[in-house]
Amino acid sequence: MSNMTQKLIKTENFETYLNRSGEGNAETILFLHGSGPGVFAWANWRYALNACSETYDCLAPDLLGFGNSSHPDPLPKNRQGWMDLWVHQLIELLDNLGIQKAHVVGNSLGCSIALELLLEHPERFDKVVLMGPGGTPNTKLSPELARAKGFYQNPSEKKMRQIMSWFVYDHEKLAPEIDALAQTRFETAMRPDIQLSNDSIFATAAVPVPVTALNRIKNPVLLVHGRDDMVCSVESSYYLLSHLQNVQLHVYGQTGHWTQIEQVESFNHLIQNYFSGKL
């Protein structure tokens, strides 16, 4: 990936670690990663950054409190406080890069942030892909997600590997991928600043976006979900399908929470066809 850059960008209120590919292309895609112990943007989006960089300027920032981006001090008192900071961070980043309008791809927590961006700054965004969204009134808290949230009670690399194996449908097929990621994610997760932010983010529950607000979103939205997602059940996409206006849904069988890795080629074709108007 010759045109890949990774650097810390200082804006007025934040330091954002940004993975970027395809700089100079006319249209921009902003990739928003999910949550979980030790997660960072590169792990989530490296294949998409490669696949989409021929046509798009691809931005995959570490969200505030994750990876190599800065951490808020003082820490927000609840999840909405975090949400407001993430929205602020991302708008500052786009302003800093001189990007007026971008497509968005969110994964898990990144989907909730994407929806918040559409409510607060709809004019800054074009088409949106929500992959494995949760945070809806009918998203079931699975045992898998509950145990992932309890990672820090007794953290180990083995436990990290176990959690990541629940994220996918066929963990044996993806074992090399999981093994490679588990070590890096464990090292990241064990940093004291990362742990403090993680504990703060999960100290309070997310408040679902009200139906009245979902109804008002005019941006085109493509929902993408693994049928066998044990982290955020496919029901959450059905919920959004019934309340968003300009919406379509693509469901993959034999796929868990990481569609972008489990269905890597198909997913990258799907989102590019969607953004280019072929879908």
Per residue, the 3-state secondary structure of the chain, as one string, reads CCCCEEEEEECCCCEEEEEEECCCCCEEEEEECCCCCCCCHHHHHHHHHHHHCCCEEEEEECCCCCCCCCCCCCCCCCHHHHHHHHHHHHHHHHHHHCCCCEEEEEECHHHHHHHHHHHHCHHHEEEEEEECCCCCCCCCCCHHHHHHHCHHHCCCHHHHHHHHHHCCCCCCCCHHHHHHHHHHHHHHHCCHHHHHHHHHHCCCCCCCCCHHHHHHCCCCEEEEEECCCCCCCCHHHHHHHHHCCCEEEEEECCCCCCHHHHCHHHHHHHHHHHHCCCC
Distance from C-alpha of 124 to C-alpha of 116, rounded to nearest angstrom: 12
For residue 77, give both structure tokens.
């008192």
CB atoms under 10 Å from CB of 214, counted, come to: 21
Q: Write out the catalytic residue numbers.
A: 108, 229, 257
